[in-house]
Amino acid sequence: MNIELEKRAKEAVSHFQTKGETGEVCPWGSGHINDTFRVDGDIRYIIQRLNRSIFIKPMQVMDNITGVTTFLKEKIKKAGGDELRDTLTVIPTEDGKTLYVDCFGDCWRMYYMIEDAVSYDQVESEKDFYESAKAFGNFCYLLSDYPARTLHETIPGFHDTKARYEVFQRAVEADVCGRAKDVQQEIAFFEEREEIAGVLGKMQAEGKLPLRVTHNDTKLNNIMMDSISGKGVCVIDLDTVMPGLSAHDFGDAIRYGASTAAEDEVDLSKVNFDIHLFELYAKGFLEGCRGSLTETEIDMLPMGAKVMTYECGMRFLTDYLQGDSYFKIHREGHNLDRCRTQMKLVKDMEANWEQMGRIVRQCAGLE
């Protein structure tokens, strides 16, 4: 990160209602979307520059965040929790706003730093995965009576898998890079499973799945873990909080965390869907949800895992066909490698389908 941006971050700090003296401002974390800095001083803060190319309506993002965190704070206080540690706290600007806009037109926002807690980029232990599941389940539980429809859809169609399938079809037909001829097996894989794309959306439209407040980026590193107990403390990175389905949040965590290899592993013999980790996560997630999910939602959790993995693989293949313009690549065929790992995981899920269904019902006490 360049020195000039650090100077701009420090200048932005002066426009927020901080307490006490503030000191050094330094790059922080491993996020790939926003620019994040830690602010040292009497009290430590996090300041971020929002990525305007992704979040084109930053005020809508902040409206969602302030609405959800204010709601969470009331729930946390009533339960005897720590409202300053168990959820994010938005620090207002000098003029009482949630964003400071600098002379370059960039938007900055600030939070209290969650102290004595860490986040992990990779699943290092089963306990970490289980605790992250409980934390995301608890997030779902605490927001189960929040009016989800009042939230802005900050990234329209984010998990509209059917619409993403249509984009994929157009990419195949256009074949702007002449790559389709070399990936016919991959194309056929997604075409043969087209029905997967419409399952969850159809059920939601029919009223069989309730619209909920969803996080939409349920990776392990979006949970702050207590440094001593290892328990999930705070759900962070709320930029993609939107109306959605519980199956999407559960499914994305499984897609990423229940694989035995990295998302871009070339050797597919190393890529397997770990049914034990699936069970561990289902147990933690449903414990955290504390009975707030309907029976139909519970039954559709495995489908959430399958849909999210199918969708992600299809997006990687679409980007490959379109010339690798969306996802960052670091080698030739990188998106194709990513696509193939997701295909392998979908096949593994299909082979374990009945067991996955039994596991979620057993974890929920339905069998």
Q: Let me know: does 282 contact 363? Beta carbons within 8 Å.
A: yes
Contact 161, 281 (CB under 8 A): no
Instruction: For residue 231, count CB atoms less than 10 angstroms from its CB and return exposed for 0-12, middle for 13-18, buried for 19 or more.
Output: middle
H-state helical runs in 258-294? 275-289
Q: Encoding tokens for residue 178? A: 């002449």
As given in the structure block, the two tokens for residue 296 are 């139909």
Domains of the chain in start order, with CATH, are: 3-115 (3.30.200.20), 126-363 (3.90.1200.10)
Distance from chain centroid for Cα 34: 14
What CA–CA distance (Å, rounded) separates 367 from 358? 8
The predicted model scores a pTM of 0.93
CA distances to 47, 90, 97 from 13, in Å: 7, 13, 14
Written as tens digits, the pLDDT of the chain (367 aa) is 578 889 999 999 999 999 999 999 999 877 667 899 999 999 999 999 998 888 999 999 999 999 999 999 999 999 999 999 999 999 999 999 999 999 999 999 999 999 999 998 877 789 999 999 999 999 999 999 999 999 999 988 888 999 999 999 999 999 999 999 999 999 999 999 999 999 999 999 999 999 999 999 999 999 999 999 999 999 999 999 999 999 999 999 999 899 999 999 999 999 999 999 999 999 999 999 999 999 999 999 999 999 999 999 999 999 999 999 888 889 999 999 999 999 999 999 999 999 999 999 999 999 8
Per-residue pLDDT of 147-182, as tens digits, reads 999 999 998 888 899 999 999 999 999 999 999 999
CA dihedral 152, 157, 158, 164 (to 10 degrees): 180
Contact 296, 364 (CB under 8 A): no
Residue 23, classed as helix, strand or coil, is strand
CA distance 308 to 250: 9
